[in-house]
Chains A and B, each alone.
Chain A
């Protein structure tokens, strides 16, 4: 297993949380893992991204330069990372917000209207979970059950409605 993942979007879209979800799941399933966020002023409303490494071997550099999978939630990030994806890698992007041309033929483009789906579900802020569900399906990095287990751990017990919402959103993306 060798996943070098970038998750990128606007601050507030929950890209860091999506990365944490993957990282926790990796830890709980005994993989080697690291999570590295962009930080500083760019977090305040600008673009945000995080690097997630999930491997069998101990992780060297935690900084993802050439992602095997890029999960992209806005246009500027699509432009920024499209060229960086490794040959044979995947871009999984939110087609509600991104209408960019596909400029490469050696990578796979997976479009999912995550924002629209979230809106339709009445869960406007869940696009990050929907696209994460899609990513899990596309890569097979985890099973749906493994990710559900993590959600249970990450969502505070005092907010059971959030738990259900996140599960539904992940399933929505997974089954899209």
Chain B
């Protein structure tokens, strides 16, 4: 397989096209605009469509329309734009439609900045928009993983008929690394989209794509059913990576690009004889609670490292559930923590240099 040197944004766009995404609706915002640029160039060549919408709101609703019509559709944005898309994502979840949304996170709140951040963790995993619903949230840490998880995102979305969010940050979107694309992608076995609003052809009952249920009991029943699906996903779709956790006294928990920085810090600490391990959640929802809980039986301390004021750390604390100390180190506003900063925090937790 040919190795290509690609930016994260471009690799995700290419992977989406190869995964059969035929409709992409975007709106420019730094630092993810390369996704739109790439799509606008490539889509017409593969019989797909790129459309620059008049707003983030219009873009997600175009996705809603194409997803309803049974076609793989995607949109991408960065933090402020995702807030605008929140309404549409809630409708997509409520109408049980599959789609992929990419968030290349930047510092916030408000207009914030344009440098890398992870301060949309809560938004992505808990409170993205109104109503009881979840997204599957995938957090790649390398450009190769951007590619692999983009394929996965479309399959998961179609399998469970729900929106999937790919979450990265400006660093991941902008950096280049070598990647390979599978020659032939063997995806999951997926059910036919018999629910799609693509015309009855006078051969079937009309399909309705809708999220409105005026009867409380009817709506409750539907939401409860959806949560059974979420429970199943929690059992089957959790993804994570671990390193050095067997003998670790201090376990780092970090996702995305920050996991790489944490890894560098871990290596430095290991060289100093400090037993440090790493758990890297790949699915932020469903969160890898079990492995954290199990690891907490032996490890003394956990250290969540994030580019935020401490969001994922709350899920770490819930999973650890009092079995070990939980610490936090974070930078925010677009500031990237250095491996040395994380190392120093490890030393502090481990009780001084050895």
Contacts and interface: CB of A to CB of B under 8 A. Distances in A.
- Are chains A and B touching directly in their complex (CB below 8 angstroms)? yes
Interface stretch (A56-64, A68-76, A117-125): A56-64
Contacts of B5: 20, 23-24, 27, 33, 35
B264 interface: yes
A141 interface: no
Contacts of A24: 5
A174 to B, nearest CB: 23
B174 A39 contact: yes
Contacts of B339: 60-61, 65
Contacts of A65: 338-340
A91 to B, nearest CB: 20
B30 interface: yes
Contacts of A98: none
B32 to A, nearest CB: 11
Interface in B300-336: 336
Given A23-B5, A24-B5, A36-B171, A60 B178 contact: no
Interface in A41-71: 41, 59-63, 65
Contacts of B336: 63
A40 interface: yes
Interface size class of A (residues with CB under 8 A): 10 to 19
B87 to A, nearest CB: 28
Contacts of B263: 60-61
Contact of B260 (A20, A27, A59): A59
A37 interface: yes
Contact of A60 (B114, B260, B340): B260
A55 to B, nearest CB: 11
Contacts of A128: none
Interface string B152-189: 00000000000000000011001111100000000000
B30 to A, nearest CB: 6
A59 B114 CA distance: 24
Interface residues of B, number: 23
Tell which of A27, A35, A36, A59 has the most Cβ of chain B within 10 Å.
A36
Contacts of B175: 34-37, 62
Interface in B26-48: 30-31
A33 B177 contact: yes
A20 B114 contact: no
Most buried by B among A27, A33, A35, A63: A63
B67 interface: no
Contact of B178 (A27, A41, A61): A27
B130 interface: no
Contacts of B261: 60-61, 63
A33 B144 CA distance: 12
Nearest to B179: A27
Contact of B338 (A20, A36, A59, A61): A61
Nearest to B116: A63
Between B31, B176, B178, B339, the greatest number of chain A beta carbons within 10 A of the residue's beta carbon is seen for B176
Contacts of A60: 260-261, 263-264, 267, 339
Contacts of B338: 61, 63, 65
B115 interface: yes
A39 B5 CA distance: 18
Given A39-B30, A39-B114, A34 B170 contact: no
A23 B264 CA distance: 20
Given A60-B267, A60-B339, A61-B338, A36 B178 contact: no
Contacts of B30: 39-40
B333 to A, nearest CB: 14
Contact of A35 (B3, B176, B267): B176
A33 B264 contact: no
Kindly list the 8 A-B residue pairs having the minimum CB-CB distance in the complex, ordered from nearest.
A60-B264, A35-B176, A61-B261, A36-B175, A60-B263, A40-B114, A27-B178, A60-B260
